[in-house]
Structure 1
Amino acid sequence: MRDKMSALIVVLHLSLMIVPIFWSSGCRQRIEPESQSPTLKLTLALQPSPTSGLIAIADERGFFKNRGVEVKIGLYPSGLDSLKAVMRGEAQLATVADIAFAGKMFEDPSLRIIASIGATVGNQVVARRDRSIQQPSDLKGKRIGYSPGTSSHYFLHAFLLTNHVSRNEITTVAIPPEKQVESVVTGEVDAVSAFDVYAFDIERRLGKNALSWDSQNNLDYQWLLAARENATRSPEAIKRFLGALVMAEAFILKNGDEAKAIISRKWDIDPGYVSHSWHQTRLFVSFNRSIITSLRNYVRWEIQRKGKTEDPPDVLNYLHTAALKEIDPRLVTIFR
């Protein structure tokens, strides 16, 4: 019964998750460069990855300065770690996957989503061929690493269901995101459910000994901008921040190659990986209804895996659409 419920959750998610992406610059309200005084300050925690590309562009091209906001950026190994920094009061904003955000909704009701700033596929299950693994069914009896509470965790769950491998038939090993590469390269685990950026590095280091499968089944997860409620009570800095990201989106549409170079340089990411991930990463500023769909599905999964008995939180209470709506109402397609 439990496996059937898990399968239903994944199927619902696969069938309902549709991310509307508007690439035409004609769909965007022009954000005129302007300099406000005084300059406002924000602290931001993020995982350096192509999904945080709008922020790299806005910072390097001077769009934050242009909009009158000074952004202090702290780097973290995952979106979950970035969100935890906000929860500890170390930063005002964080970039985080919708999956990780859903897991923390139970813990901190003051969390708020400010916008979606991208979507991506690319998470992989990467295995070592020398551990007698040639196909997903060979994972039975093996040690598989994952990072709890992150997209690595959820997509391992979905991958096992899709390939008819029971959780009881494997040994799961919890590892921090920053150890995903070393855990499988050193042989601590036989396979790992890895973020795309780490999967790319694993495949590079293991060479022909690496075997990988797409664990997302072409299902996007959204990269969100999140804060605590108290940060939204004085929203001017957040509005300026979002305005700069809209300018960055317009820049990317016209300057793709330069944008890739900036992201690679800013986050110190292998240019080969940025090019590899470019076709599966979409950078945009929006507040779309699919955020609600994905959060509800992830919350159901969270309740199931932790055996919670309380009612699920109302995801609508975690959405702060006002700031983006003031920038451009057309970017908000959630109507209460």
Structure 2
Amino acid sequence: MSPTKVTNQTAAVLHGARDVRIEQRSVWPPQAHEAQVAVVQTGLCGSDLHYYAHGRNGDFVIQSPLVLGHEAAGVVTAVGSSVTHLVPGQRVALEVGIMCQNCKFCTLGRYNLCKNMRFCSSAKTFPHLDGTLQETMNHPAHILHPLPDDVSFEQGALIEPLAVLVHAARRANLSSGQTVLVFGVGAIGLLACSIAQSIGASRVVAIDINQARLDFAKQEGFATDVYCLPAVDKPKTTEEQLRRAKTSAHDALKAFGEADGFDVVFECTGAEPCIQMGIHAAAVGGRMMLVGMGQGNVTIPLATAAVREVDIQGTFRYANAYPEAIELLASGKLQNAEKLVTHRFSLQDAARAFELLSKGKDEDGNIVLKVMVGQQ
């Protein structure tokens, strides 16, 4: 049953760049198709950090106060009158992209491309749709996914970014025995490594500019080998940058002992030089997946990709990927997933959590990967 009265709850609300305020907000009973969820854990994402640091994420500018957060798990506290598959007390992961269910892409099962999509914590649409950095929220019941008993709330909050990589791996047709190279070992890159391992990749390696993160990736078993790109001055011309990308890719392949390149490359940085390198680092007939979101316009060695038949594929969010992501976590095939969570804060300390994430290291010099905000 749904509650019959309006209640108050606490939310961390972004009013502008680096301006997070803890406020009291009203919660109404869930509508017929909704369930009310007490949010237990929310993982902070790179897009959340962009909104926090700049008041915008790319072209999407905050026009009114916004609750951030979209990687979350919680407990159902009430259900609307037409909801039959959920009951109060049920543990769930929240899928936070609300699709229209009627357009061409939704009917084809590619609802991540829905033009009418409203996404919690995104300023793309207005009025904005609040995210999960709040104690309680109403949410469409059909995109609340029950969690198995052996999947923790923190793991449940990792399902959203994990679904991104499930979707990317599907589009890459990633299969057992293939070799995999991952650019970038932030949380998304590390999950790309984990997905590749769970599918049975014969080798998983990673490239980054941060040696500490690479050390973490290798020590914790996400990648078998790593390569740190050397610090260099910014190239003066596009031609110089393209030449350098080719040389850097060949140097990395030599270090890995993979002169012929990798079957699948997951580009998880969005950085132009890494995209350029990825085309050279992919094997003939290989595939490069564009997972990271970077600048709008990128110069790439397209002729190199064409003559070597390197497929370059975009991937955006996910569609129908939550069940597989949950199954992967419950199966134990992603044994290192919980190691991504390096720091934890209460909802009241959300601003401190964002500040720590922006620094990348804590006071003791430890790396910051995934920060969880919620009940401690």
Q: Could you say whether these structures have the same fold, taking a TM-score greater than 0.5 normalized by the shorter chain as the test?
A: no
Which of 1 and 2 has greater Rg? 2
Give TM-score, length-normalised by structure 1: 0.28
* Higher-strand-fraction structure: 2
Query: Which of the pair has the greater relative contact order for Cα pairs under 8 Å at 6+ separation?
Result: 1
Give TM-score, length-normalised by structure 2: 0.26
* Higher-helix-fraction structure: 1
